[in-house]
Amino acid sequence: MNHDEFRDWSRQAADWGARYREEIRQHPVRPKAGPGEIASQIPTSPPETPERMEEIFADFEAKILPGMTHWQHPRFFAYFPANAAPVSVIAEYLVSAMAAQCMLWQTSPAATELETRMVDWMRQALGLPQRFAGVIQDSASSATLAAILTMRERALSWEGNKSGLSGNRRLRVYCSDQVHTSIDRAIWIAGIGEENLVKLPGSGPLRGMEADALEAAIEADKRAGYLPCGIVASVGGTSVGGTDDVGALSDVARRHDLYLHVDAAWAGSAMICPEFRHFWAGVENADSIVFNPHKWLGAQFDCSIQFVAEPDDLVRTLAIRPEYLKTHGRDGIINYSEWSIPLGRRFRALKLWFLLRAHGLSGLRQMIRNHVAWSENLADRLRGAQGFQIVTEPMLSLFTFRHGAPSGVDEDAHNLALLEAINADGRIYLTQTRVDGKVAIRFQVGQFETAAGDIDVAYDAITGCAQALGGYGSGR
């Protein structure tokens, strides 16, 4: 591809992207493709000779697009969002065109220094104290793994990376049963072992773990010869928004000299609104915090910020400095590859810079406030609809509900059938979870371009599909 062709196809791709966003409501949110349907249209062997871009682009539209779930659809109410505000997409065009590998300050000084400034902009936006520095990771999974490794090394007096875990006392990490499974994976990868992740039941309206139960578990483990090393607090857990009392947990952490990591991957974005910060009161006492601007704030995936109170501890855990990666003759620089598990790093700060400047904090706050209000409104409407039960009340913009089954029909099976009917309908996309052992349907508002009318469509789709299935047995 020569420069003229590159320019032409770049324009065509940008035009396609703009048209896609304009017409996205015309697509079903989730594709109707069956397993293997897309692969059957792709040759089993690579081409020996070049193919024309016209053919490649036509195949993209004919074969790939019909098999895509449309995460940027305004009626994507499943999972948590993976937003890509249009201005963020434009920034990613530029990042892709430059294709810089930003592992060290010297490999792209602007990328490193913009990252430092953007992390501090977000620290200020969230109301966090100046003691926190930070880094843009790829995802909360990587940030959590970095935190687990740091708490492991700290507990082992910084000898774990050198001598391994063999011969040491078994480490213990504590969390509620509402945490994301990325915590479990981090425990596996860090070599701590699944049996040493102590999950305590969540309770109360926010389903947080009790500080007294946490302290009792830590003391019991100490008596049994274990080595407690850290606590993972949840703020806005994936299932139903499970949220711990961060302040109470930080008191326990201080008393036992344990590392406290706060996972606010989704809900952290809402903390740009001061009225929601009570959900993580006490966060200023954490050792590390993770939140994902790529979830609710509008930065295109991937963009996860990890704040740390003691950057030296993170660097001490992760940094390896062979001669070829040293930056000579420069003092006071940061090499963010020493703050991350991968050596290679994308230029993630640019999209955050574009996003914050184009929308301002006021615009982003209004979006989040709208989403919370719309979710609360829909929960109230479903509460008043025949056959529906609100299982967990809205935590920010997330709530769960069930529908009463017909007589003699298993309620879990009925609600799974309702979920499938809603998703097959195509107007909206939802997912399920389990609450107290029973199936519940999750609903959350978070897509960047959702409008109030999309919530009306959601109500019609949910109630219409429920009416078609029948039921009401245990509902209203």
Same domain, 144 and 282: yes
Same domain, 369 and 334: no
Query: Residue 310: exposed, middle, or buried by beta-carbon count in 10 A (0-12, 13-18, 19+)?
Result: middle
406 close to 389: Cβ distance less than 8 angstroms: no
Q: What is the CATH number of the domain that holds 157?
A: 3.40.640.10
pLDDT of 80: 87
Of 323, 346, 369, which marks where a domain is finished? 346
Same domain, 335 and 212: yes
The segments of the chain whose pLDDT lies below 50 read 323-325, 328-330, 473-476
Same domain, 138 and 242: yes
For β-strands 259-263 and 288-291, DSSP reports them as parallel
Same domain, 177 and 234: yes
SS3 239: coil
Is there a domain that residue 20 lies in?
no
Helix, strand, coil fractions of the chain, as percent rounded to 5: 50, 15, 35
Same domain, 318 and 447: no
Count: domains in the chain: 2
pLDDT of 286: 96
Does a cis peptide bond (omega within 30 degrees of 0) precede residue 244? no
148 close to 190: Cβ distance less than 8 angstroms: yes
Same domain, 464 and 320: no
Q: What is the DSSP string of 261-320?
A: EEE-TTGGGGGGSGGGGGGGTTGGG-SEEEE-TTTTT-PPSS-EEEEES-HHHHHHHH--
Is there a domain that residue 383 lies in?
yes
pLDDT of 109: 83
Only one residue has tokens 């003759």, namely 329
pLDDT of 133: 93
Same domain, 295 and 431: no
Q: Give the H/E segment covering residue 143.
A: helix 140-155
Same domain, 335 and 225: yes
* Close Cβ partners of 285 (under 8 Å, ≥ 6 residues apart): 246, 247, 250, 253, 254, 260
Only one residue has tokens 């032409």, namely 8
Of 292, 318, 346, which marks where a domain is finished? 346
Is there a domain that residue 23 lies in?
no
Same domain, 341 and 390: no
Is there a domain that residue 10 lies in?
no
Same domain, 187 and 284: yes
Is there a domain that residue 373 lies in?
yes
Is there a domain that residue 47 lies in?
no
Q: Which domain holds residue 401?
A: 361-469
Is there a domain that residue 301 lies in?
yes
Of 290, 316, 346, which marks where a domain is finished? 346
Nearest to residue 104, comparing CAs of 322, 283, 254?
A: 322
pLDDT of 456: 95
Same domain, 413 and 274: no
Is there a domain that residue 351 lies in?
no
Q: What is the CATH number of the domain that holds 443?
A: 3.90.1150.10
